Structures are given as structure tokens and as C-alpha cells.
Structure 1
């Protein structure tokens, strides 16, 4: 194994570690929501510094590889894709942190009726599936598996697009100011979760780009 291959192997290892870390951040933020565990939410906020630190390390390694080794073909595509992927991974971490900030603003657990009406549990299940697919497809360079996130992201978009109507209906049937505030928080959390789906989709596109040399960004039909 030459020096370039070693550097690329370490780059991928660092990216895999970061992918698992942001997956864990999202899992903890979701668990904190359902258990109303403020300590767990605070742990997510604290770990955000680790996510940021890994991002800077990966950025530096990519710059080092480009400057010293002048990679070509799939090696170049992987480095270019890595620069984009690490940015999206960091944003997933940011949104996990954002979810926990809204949870910490709430003094009581969210109304189960509200959570069901806004389909937040369904949304979280989809996100966790997408993160599992992302980890496996990236570790194995499985582009067929990576493509499966696109239909899941469409399901997230559908829940997000209907959230305003669900929010309005819930507010109309409630005079409790705290519940109304929770509904507003939850709408913001839905928006953040939908953005996580977008970032996972972006990363999956980059996996397909560096493995298959196919650019899917901005294409309506990704199948």
C-alpha cells in the first residue's frame, strides 16, 4: 500500500467515525425527546464540539491529500466528495443539537396527541432508517443501497409539507398556552428533522458520485 492509499484509507476511516457519531447524536436526541431526558439532551449539546473537531480534522486531511498527492480518477472524486460529505455530516450534528435545544425549552413532556397528529414519531423512525442505510452504504460503497434513501426522503418531505395544517388544527382545539407553545416547538423540530433527511440524501448522492462517477444533484429522477 502506497502513501496515498494510506491517506485515503485514514480519510475514509475518519469519515465513517464521524458518520457514526452524528448518527448517535440523532439517536440520543430522539431518545431524549421520548423520555424527556434533559440530561441526555445536554449530552448531545456537549458532544457537538466533537463533531466540529472531526470536521476540521477531515477538512485538513483533504487539503493535505490534494496538495501533496494530486489524486486522479476515483481517488480525486473521493476527496472532493469527502469535502462535501463532511459539511453535511456537521450539519446533521447541528440539527441534532437544535432538536435538543427545543426539548430543553419545554418544562413538561410533549402531548402524545400532538406528537401523533404531527407524525413526528413516524418521521423519527424514517430518519433512523436513513442513518442506518447511510452508514452501511458508505462503509461498503454500496450505491444500490445508497439510492434507497431517496424514497425515504420523499416520505419526510410529505410529513413536513402537511405539518402546518396539523399544527393549525391542533391549536384550534386547544386553549392551553403551554401546549400551543409545544406545538410551535414541534413544528420547528419537524423542520430540522426534514433538513437532516436532505443532508443524508446529499451524502448518498456523493457516495454514488465517487463510486460510479454519476452526478445526481438537481436531477428530479434519481432512479
Structure 2
């Protein structure tokens, strides 16, 4: 039903998540990120609360990802239905797939990344994502999307994919990238990629606008904000 990759850029310290699902609006429930702290993808039969709970444990309790994941799962019911991945500010990762995860499920950790999915065409879908991320060039978003395309090339989900999202945090308290396709009959990952290609040359401009409106460029459209 869902596959995702959580990654960190060692050069910038940015965290990012790219995710897709056969369900509607996967970006509304599953990706959770906090600047300087980490990123969490909570999927399968999703409990959104796990995202902020794990991030709180990484930040306030200074737990390692595996310990934070274990504590959060232990504090909530129905953990056997959850699939969760975590990365922290040191690039350490953890993942969990409950025994009630749907269909064929799998998770793989790599360098500065961890990928996971359920209802997969086969486990090779997830195994394709990690090297695609590790070997891709460009910004963190480019590398995350390369992993998503590799997953689709390897077979993707057992059924159609209908929603996708890309979310990235840097040094600021808000996401610097937050792009979503909440429902598409075909190719939501490709649609998110096209959104990213349009947004990429403007990304820094929107940060400038927020921090110094006097230096903010205008794109000359009515209601430009």
C-alpha cells in the first residue's frame, strides 16, 4: 500500500522523505520531519502520532533511533500493524515492520537513508531504492526521487499508486520543500517530480522572502506570495 525513503544529506544536514501510496493523500499522514533532529515515516496502517512522538524522543530524551522507535511503539497499541522508519541528525537509522504489515513488506537501511514498503510487487522494490539514493547526484530531493523512480522500475506496489509526496527540512523550523499529489489516476511520483523541477529554481527565493522581505524576488503574478 505504501513505499518510502527517508534520507539525510551529509553535506547540508537536511532531512527528507519521499513517499507514495495506493491510498489518498499519503503526504497528509505519513512523513514527519524536524530540522536538526530527524525524520520519521509511519506507514502501513498508519498511526500519525508515532512521527512526532519519535521526534520528541530523539530531541528531548536524546535517544538513538532504535530506542526511540521501541519506546514509541511500546507506548501505543497495535504496533504489529505499523511500519516505521527513522533517521536522526547523525545519520543513524532504525526501522520496524509489524507482523500484520500488508502483503509483501520489506525494509532496508543504507548510508544516510532507510527505505521501506508494504503491499510490494516483491522485496526487490525496496532493495533497489537504497543504492539509487546512495549513487544519485544532485540535491537531496533529486536523490530521494531517484530512489522512488528506481522502486517503480523494480515493480512498485502490487497495485496502482495514487498519491505521493516529497518533504524536506533544512535549518529552519518549517519545511523548505513540501510537495504533494493527493490523488492521481496515474504516475503521482512523476507528477511530484515535475512539481519539484518547477519548484527547485524558486526554493531559495521563498526562504529569502520569509527571512528578508526587502530582498524577496517577485515572480510578477497576481497575488504573488
Structure with greater strand percent: 2
Q: TM-score, normalised by structure 2?
A: 0.27
* Higher Rg of the two aligned structures: 1
Q: TM-score, normalised by structure 1?
A: 0.27
- Larger relative contact order (CA 8 Å, sep ≥ 6): 1
